[in-house]
A and B are shown apart, each in its own frame.
Chain A
Amino acid sequence: MTETVLALVPDYGVFLVFGVVLLACLAVPLPASVLVLTSGSFAAAGDISLLTVFLAAVAAYILGDQLAYGVSRKFGPSVLGFFERSECTAPVVEKSKELLQRRGALAVLISHTILSPTCPYVSYLSGAGGLNWRSFTTAAIPGALIWTAMYVGLGYTFASQLEQVATILSNFFGVVLAGAVAVVSVVLLMRRWQAQTATQSQEPTS
């Protein structure tokens, strides 16, 4: 898949970058990061313009974000409503919404940069969960700029070692994503342990 998409760059250039990044923001499984990285290298080789690649990727990222947010804002609440009616999932949805209101902008920024594979899902959740448009956009646009500058810049700077950089990045995201899941699960386990210990220590006195 990745090789097929990359082979289209010399023919379609920035239009391809725009289309793939836009669709990836909507959670279509396409290799947007590798494509933007490689486009940076193509720019270094003189095959395409650096500025055009950057602008196309940023524009697609921002537009894709807004589409994901807008669609989930319109249709998401009814989907969430279904889960809120269930006794089993209602507390989780409620807590997620509350968390989104408190730390939503930070989550959007992180998901658009360090944890970019989670970006489309966070955009959908932000719209469905009721994070206001201004908070979403003020975090999403800097996130899009940082992500694009990072990938285009790395591709451009390390054009002669593209395969090495792509491998390092994929390993990095693997460590960060799996590490994030490990950290969250251990935090939840510690909270449960503390709650259980507190309950047990209260039991003999009551």
Chain B
Amino acid sequence: MRVLSFIRQNWLMVSLFLGSLAVALWFAFHAITDALYFNDPRNVDVALKPWMTPRYVVLTYDLPRPLVMELLELDPDDDRGIRLGRLAQERNISMDDLTTLVRDATAAYREGQE
């Protein structure tokens, strides 16, 4: 009874505690599920984003630079300041199509390496 009366008197603080605890647990749950998701080899190669640059693709997909430059039809000596969003727009293709193109080339390259 004393506890219930205390909770009634301090309902705002108790609500704040329970609410923040729930939010903390929600983030902790997501931390675990995200870790499991990214641990899956199928999800290692992330989808390409408009802000990424060709050099960033080289790094993320662990591909040789000449291969990426050739794939994206770019001059290897003049790729600074180019981002994939602009590239996709110029080629009139979607980011999904560009991702598929790079993923296919990556798969072929890795297969050749084995």
Contact = CB atoms under 8 A, between A and B. Distances in A.
- Interface-centre pick from B14, B20, B46, B49 (highest chain A CB count, 10 A): B20
A175 B24 contact: yes
A41 interface: yes
Interface string B7-36: 000100110110011011011101100110
Contacts of A193: 6
A25 to B, nearest CB: 23
Interface in A9-60: 9-11, 38, 41-42, 44-47
Interface stretch (A75-83, A144-152, A166-174): A166-174
5 shortest A-B CB distances, which residue pairs?
A174-B27, A6-B51, A178-B24, A181-B20, A171-B31
Question: What DSSP secondary structure best describes chain B's contact surface?
Answer: helix
Interface of B: 6, 10, 13-14, 16-17, 20-21, 23-24, 26-28, 30-31, 34-35, 38, 46, 49-51, 53, 55-56, 58-60, 62, 80-83, 85
A106 interface: no
A181 B51 contact: no
- Interface-centre pick from B26, B35, B53 (highest chain A CB count, 10 A): B53
Nearest to A189: B13
A189 B14 contact: yes
A204 to B, nearest CB: 15
Given A42-B53, A175-B27, 7 more contacts: A3-B49, A10-B80, A159-B56, A174-B26, A174-B30, A182-B20, A186-B17
A159 B31 contact: no
A49 B69 CA distance: 21
A99 interface: no
Interface residues of A, number: 36
Nearest to B46: A163
Nearest to B30: A171
Given A164-B38, A178-B21, A3 B51 contact: yes
Contact of B60 (A9, A162, A174): A162
A196 B53 CA distance: 62
Contacts of B21: 178, 182
